[in-house]
Chain A
Amino acid sequence: MKRDTRPGAEAVAVKGWLSANRWLLARRFTQLSILGLFMLGPWFGIWLVKGNLNASLTLDVLPLTDPYVLLQSLLAGHRPEMVAVSGALIVTAFYLLVGGRTYCAWVCPVNIVTDTAHWLRERLGITGAARLSSTTRYWILAASLLLALFTGALVWEFVNPVSMLHRGLIFGMGLAWLLVLGVFLLDLLVSRRAWCGHLCPVGAFYSLLGVRSLLRVRADQREQCDDCMDCFLVCPEPKVIRPALKGAGKGIGPVITSANCTNCGRCIDVCAKDVFRFGSRFGNRADKPGQTTHQSPGVEALR
């Protein structure tokens, strides 16, 4: 029983380590680069980017604002300056294209924390799980917006571990470490992918942005699937894969259309059969994508 049965082992054997970790490496590189850009100022005095993920200014020209925070501010009754509004529009437009939760997998600093917790959880074989509905995040999202509306304050920002971690790294942590540690322990001990997959309203907000996004993971080679289950095991949102991967018989196309797919690309990495790839949401037909002459049965009959 020496064989490594961890997910992705087969992909490493078939494709080589680098190619079986390509997207994971790209993702970590992106996450750390974005964080690095923010840290260049405080650490080395190179102010390419100022601010934090809530609102920032790049090269003194490009404003970026978190639309979720700005929405709360609007509900709290504040009419923001145009800078913040245009920053939010730019961010919104970007995630409308690439998929809202791409933010979670490629930008958010908490992802590194929760991925580490998940890795350790698997390593230690912790299986106990509290019953958490994955829709809880939408409830919390709604609650955070209502709280802003009724109190006139950005209440979620008092406890938001996402903005606190990022701001803390740049401006000083204070006791925010405790919150981050809390999220880590939650994901390690309480439930699998508890924070990002069940609770975080920031992710919930961005998932709503990405409902119609263009960039998608597609299971184009799904007939190659040998049911090894590795993709399900590594996926932070396992529910999103099934329809695309196993829906051929039900007439469901190969595009992962769920807004909760984070576009992390880990399924592409760990699949030894190269079932998955990044693509657009278009051409989501249940038949084999190789067939170019797709026509309805009626047209077929007329021939």
Chain B
Amino acid sequence: MTAAARKPSAAPASAARRRFIVDMARTGGGVALFSMGIGLYARQAASLPALALRPPGALDEPQFIGACVRCGLCVRDCPYDTLSLARLGDEVATGTPYFTARDVPCEMCEDIPCVKACPTGALDHELTDIDDARMGLAVLIDEENCLNFQGLRCDVCYRVCPSIDQAITLEMQHNPRSGKHALFIPTVHSDACTGCGKCEKACVLEEAAIKVLPTRLAKGELGHHYRWGWKEKQKAGGSLVTPDRQHRYNLPQGERYDYEGEGLIMDENSGQTPFASDPLDTLNRGVEGRR
């Protein structure tokens, strides 16, 4: 304004140009601010709560958020009404499919209709065997309240597991409380657990002691430089660090040690044992001459 006033000679064309530029800057600036806002909002809104599970075959969450077009066709083709589309205000990214295992778990249909229904491949069409799905990983999260950990035979999570004895096994342990019974510890194996959530759904407690968590929360990860020595040794067929030597105990002549042979072994013909029949002799050994 003031610049225009100072230069009254400015032609109308340049005034129009100036107005055009100002309008452009205004609109552009406004839109830039606005998109920064929704960009930040989207970052927040895209975070997935731990108990919301994606359908089988879902790409990793960052890719999924860019691949899913929020059409709900997977929801429609789910025969068990497991899946629902997140609504605005839910904690899951608006319009994306999810399920909550404790409400309705995935029934692991063999033909995987939800994946087939996905038009974009946000649910990966490479997934043809439902046992290869990894929706999450079951974790026995509360050992204090799990009935099996108390020595009871609840076993419900184990029994309902569609991959029984592979995804969940019962591992027998000594029961130190009673001293004479066993604990059957439900143990999840990540190489077989699909994260369907049937165990979480079936857990008899008020609040499930076993829960399906996103794999990133449920699993640790070894440092990439780290190697298990015994596995490397097995792979190489021998020790990689120091040459393998037969271990030898430094024992008096005529004595050997063998664990499987029940420990210390005296050679028969040595005739000599380290222990005297009279314990006093043992104590006095080496001091006889001083008397």
Q: Which residues of A contact B (CB under 8 A)?
A: 41, 47, 50-52, 54-57, 63, 65-66, 69-70, 73, 76-81, 83-84, 87, 133, 135-136, 139-140, 143-144, 146-148, 151-159, 163-164, 167-168, 170-176, 178-179
A147 touches B71 (CB 8 A): no
Whether A152 contacts B38 by the Cβ 8 Å rule is: no
Most buried by B among A70, A78, A176: A78
Q: Which residues of A contact B121 (CB under 8 A)?
A: 78-81, 84
Closest chain B residue, CB of each to CB of A80: B120
Instruction: Name the residue on B nearest A170 (C-beta).
Output: B72
Contact yes or no, B45 A158, CB < 8 A: yes
Interface assignment of B118: CB less than 8 Å from any CB of chain A: yes
Would you give the shortest CB distance from B126 to chain A, in whole angstroms?
11
Of A47, A151, A170, most B-chain CB atoms within 10 Å: A151
Indicate whether B88 reaches chain A with its CB closer than 8 angstroms. yes
B35, A52: Cβ atoms closer than 8 Å = no
Determine the distance from Cα of A54 to Cα of B42 in the docked complex, in whole angstroms.
18
Contact residues in A for B159 (Cβ distance below 8 Å): none
Q: How far is the CA of A213 from the CA of B125 in the complex (A)?
A: 36
Contacts of B70 in A (CB 8 A): 52, 54, 69, 154, 157, 163, 167
A78 touches B63 (CB 8 A): yes
A65 to B67, CA, bound (A): 13
Shortest distance in angstroms between B21's beta carbon and chain A's nearest beta carbon? 13
Question: What 5 A-B pairs come out closest when comparing CB atoms?
Answer: A174-B87, A76-B66, A55-B71, A175-B89, A143-B35
Q: Which of A47, A73, A164 contacts B69 (CB 8 A)?
A: A73
Question: How many residues of B sit at the interface, in one of the four size bands?
Answer: 35 or more
Q: Check if A50 sits within 8 Å of B120, measured CB to CB.
A: no
Query: B residues 46-102 with Cβ under 8 Å of A?
Result: 46, 62-63, 65-73, 75-77, 84-90, 93-95
Q: Give how many A-B residue pairs fall within 8 Å (CB-CB).
A: 165
- Min CB–CB distance B161 → chain A (angstroms): 31
Question: Other than the known A70-B120, A136-B30, what 11 A-B pairs have Cβ atoms closer than 8 Å?
Answer: A51-B71, A54-B95, A63-B119, A80-B121, A151-B39, A157-B70, A159-B38, A168-B88, A173-B87, A176-B94, A178-B88
Is B232 in the interface zone, CB < 8 Å from A? no
Residue of B nearest to A159 (CB): B38
Identity of the chain A residue whose Cβ is nearest the Cβ of B61 in the assembled complex:
A153
Nearest chain B CB to A150 CB, angstrom units: 8
A50, A153, A167, A179: the one contacting B65 at CB < 8 Å is A153
- B69 engages A69 (CB within 8 Å): yes
Q: Which residue of A lies closest to B96 (CB)?
A: A157
Query: Is B27 a contact partner of A136 (Cβ separation < 8 A)?
Result: yes
What is the minimal beta-carbon distance from A136 to any residue of chain B, in angstroms? 5
In the assembled complex, the Cα of A167 lies from the Cα of B119 at a distance in Å of 16
Residue contact B31 to A139, C-beta cutoff 8 Å: yes
Quote the shortest CB–CB distance from A142 to chain B (angstroms).
8
CB of B32 closer than 8 Å to a CB of A: yes
In the assembled complex, which residues on chain A have CB atoms less than 8 Å from the CB atom of B94? Answer: 157-158, 164, 174, 176
Contact partner of A47 (CB less than 8 A), chosen from B35, B76, B120, is: B76
CB distance A144 to B35 under 8 Å? yes
Which of A80, A136, A144, A154 interacts with B119 by CB under 8 Å? A80
Tell me which of B62, B76, B88 contacts A50 (CB under 8 A).
B76
Which residue on A lies nearest to B122, using beta carbons?
A78
Can you identify 20 A-B contacts, CB atoms within 8 angstroms?
Answer: A55-B71, A56-B73, A57-B117, A57-B119, A70-B69, A80-B67, A83-B119, A139-B31, A143-B31, A143-B35, A147-B38, A148-B66, A151-B43, A151-B66, A152-B62, A154-B70, A158-B41, A167-B72, A171-B72, A171-B87
**Interface residue from A147, A154, A172 paired with B87 (Cβ < 8 Å):** A172
